[in-house]
Structure 1
């Protein structure tokens, strides 16, 4: 692994970790009032695109980060749809 990929992994860990508290808080409180579904959908599409790009570029750091973030953003969309009807 070269130094560029190490920087990529550092960025991947930090940006992915920054997103996880929101998922946890939403899961625990079931409060989705401050989440925008259109933003979540656009974000999800963007992350899926970054994941595809990472696969095509054969970048382990991009694949790692975006795989986790795809799951996290999908969960937030699910929570928004499930809990937003109340």
Structure 2
């Protein structure tokens, strides 16, 4: 297999797995809720993606770098929405229902 085919395969895989987060980001930001999303899962996911990005930088892989930079932004947006929209208390100080 040629190096170009290997890198192209990585770029397509990265594009598709990154694109998979877009519907979730849009849904969370439009609905202003992320109650059904696991905070621990997205914390671990963001850490893992950040480490994949570091790995891509260390080995100089454009596919890993590009995919993980964009994916990290998308998963961080979901994490930010989870933290912003799903606080246990409303601004008035009373518990949310």
Q: If the length of structure 2 is used for normalisation, what is the TM-score?
A: 0.85
Number of corresponding residues: 86
Moved runs in structure 1, 4+ residues, more than 3 A? Answer: none
Deviation of 1:19 after TM superposition, in Å, equals: 1.0
Q: 2:15 & 2:72 partners in 1: Cα distance? A: 14
Structure 1 residues 43-79: Cα deviation after superposition (integer angstroms, max 9, x where no partner): 0000000000011111101101100011111111110
Cross-structure match for 2:23: 21
Larger Rg: 2
Gaps of 5+ in 1: none
In structure 2, the gaps of 5 or more residues are 88-95
Indicate the structure with greater helix content. 1
